[in-house]
Amino acid sequence: MIVRQRTNWLKMLFIWRGSVLKKIVVQLSIITLFSLAIYFFKGKIFDYKVHLNPTIFTLIGLALAIFMGFCNSASYDRYWEGRKLWGSLVIETRSLTRQILSFVDGPSLEEKQKIVKLISAFGWSLNYQLREKSGTEHLSRLLSPEQVEELRDKKFISSIILGFIADWIKEQNRKGNIDTIVLTQLDHQLNQFSNISGGCERIHNTPLPFAYSVLLHRTVYFYCFWLPFGLVDMLDWMMPLIVVLISYTFIALDAIIQEIGEPFGEEENDLALNSICRTIEFSIFEQAQIPQGELKKPDSYFID
């Protein structure tokens, strides 16, 4: 994800990074050449004049805009729900760290720090599970060699790490370092971790219905390629410019819908999961007095 400071209106016109223009520049170029050809031949195909009333495109465009608005809302809802789940994970990791440091008597600070590292590893493992990557550099940094070996070839690593934390809490309860009330609260925190993980997996494993994507995609491109025939007689030489402008609006929105509909990817407008994981690690390490480097913060912009 790109995080960028606000800029003035003139610079916004020429921003490339973070824009979907680079994804659709080929399609727009083809539509531009097609529109120029239609203008050159005055809307004729093999001496047959294609007569299309512009009113038709007004009606179709209105229906298309309404449908695109629905799909955009559905995609953004997935994006925002994913962001809320990861925001909840930030809160829950800090709460669990505080409870372990404050309410678990007996273990040394060094032993508690190992559990705090497990909490951070949960965030990183969920991140890479959703992105279908290994993330071994973080696991080997935060976990013991025995734990790393136990996670080898496992798919749902975040759930197993949660089991490591639960085993440690169970052991502390057996030793009498945690009373029943605290044990219940800690178990509730772990359930929240499971709920967050399950919610993220639901979004990741259930994309927008494919039929919606196909219908929207086809309609947008049919509309854009037929539009020059309806506007060539009315706009004359201005027709290619207007067609490209309208096509940019519809095709770019179609691309944005597809991009934010999968919020856990690594495209420029997806969620900044790496940044969130770094924030989690920095904050809970600070609570547990674990030495660490400076948290990476956005400058003018950065790509997560």
- Per residue in 278-297, pLDDT (tens digit) is 999 999 999 999 988 765 55
Helix (H) or strand (E) holding 37: helix 21-40
Task: Using pLDDT thresholds of 50, 70 and 90, give the confidence band for residue 193.
Answer: very high
Task: Tell me what the mean pLDDT of segment 90-109 comes to.
Answer: 93
Residue 150 CB coordination number (10 Å): 15
pLDDT of 300? 43
Task: Using pLDDT thresholds of 50, 70 and 90, give the confidence band for residue 201.
Answer: very high
116 vs 290: CA distance, rounded Å: 9
Produce one character per residue of 35-44: b if its CB has 16 or more CB atoms within 10 Å, e if not: bbebbeeebe
Longest dimension (CA), the chain: 92
Reply yes or no on whether the pLDDT at 13 is more than 80.
Answer: no
Nearest to 106 by CA among 178, 10, 192, 210: 178
Task: Tell me what the mean pLDDT of segment 257-281 comes to.
Answer: 91
28 vs 252: CA distance, rounded Å: 10
- Which 8-state DSSP code applies to residue 238? G
pLDDT of 299? 46
* Cβ contact 224:247 at 8 Å: yes
Nearest to 240 by CA among 40, 26, 64: 40
Reply yes or no on whether the pLDDT at 3 is more than 80.
Answer: no
Tokens of residue 156, six digits: 């749902």
Reply yes or no on whether the pLDDT at 2 is more than 70.
Answer: no
pLDDT of 154? 85
Reply yes or no on whether the pLDDT at 69 is more than 60.
Answer: yes
Average the pLDDT over each of 30-34, 50-54, 108-112 and give the range with the smallest value: 50-54
pLDDT of 235? 85
Ordered alpha helix ranges (H), 104-235? 109-130, 136-142, 145-150, 157-174, 180-205, 210-235
Amino acid of residue 249: T
Tokens of residue 94, six digits: 């800090």
Reply yes or no on whether the pLDDT at 298 is more than 50.
Answer: no
pLDDT of 254? 92
Cα Rg of the chain, angstroms: 26
Q: Is 173 exposed, middle or buried (0-12, 13-18, 19+ CB in 10 A)?
A: middle
pLDDT digits (tens, 9 = 90+) for 126-173: 999 999 887 778 888 899 899 999 988 888 899 999 999 999 999 999
Nearest to 101 by CA among 176, 28, 166, 186: 186
* Cβ contact 253:217 at 8 Å: no
* Cβ contact 190:166 at 8 Å: yes
pLDDT of 197? 96
As a residue count, the chain comes to: 304
Tokens of residue 86, six digits: 């990861």
pLDDT of 14? 74
10 vs 162: CA distance, rounded Å: 49
Question: Within its chain, how far is the Cα of 123 from the centroid?
Answer: 15
* Cβ contact 266:84 at 8 Å: no
Task: Tell me what the mean pLDDT of segment 109-128 comes to.
Answer: 94
Task: Tell me what the mean pLDDT of segment 207-231 comes to.
Answer: 90
Reply yes or no on whether the pLDDT at 17 is more than 90.
Answer: no
Reply yes or no on whether the pLDDT at 276 is more than 90.
Answer: yes
pLDDT digits (tens, 9 = 90+) for 46-57: 777 777 888 888
- Which 8-state DSSP code applies to residue 78? H
Tokens of residue 60, six digits: 């179709």
Reply yes or no on whether the pLDDT at 11 is more than 90.
Answer: no
Task: Using pLDDT thresholds of 50, 70 and 90, give the confidence band for residue 302.
Answer: very low
- Which 8-state DSSP code applies to residue 19? -
Backbone angles phi, psi at 157, to 5 degrees: -65, -35
Q: What is the mean pLDDT of the chain?
A: 88
Task: Using pLDDT thresholds of 50, 70 and 90, give the confidence band for residue 97.
Answer: very high
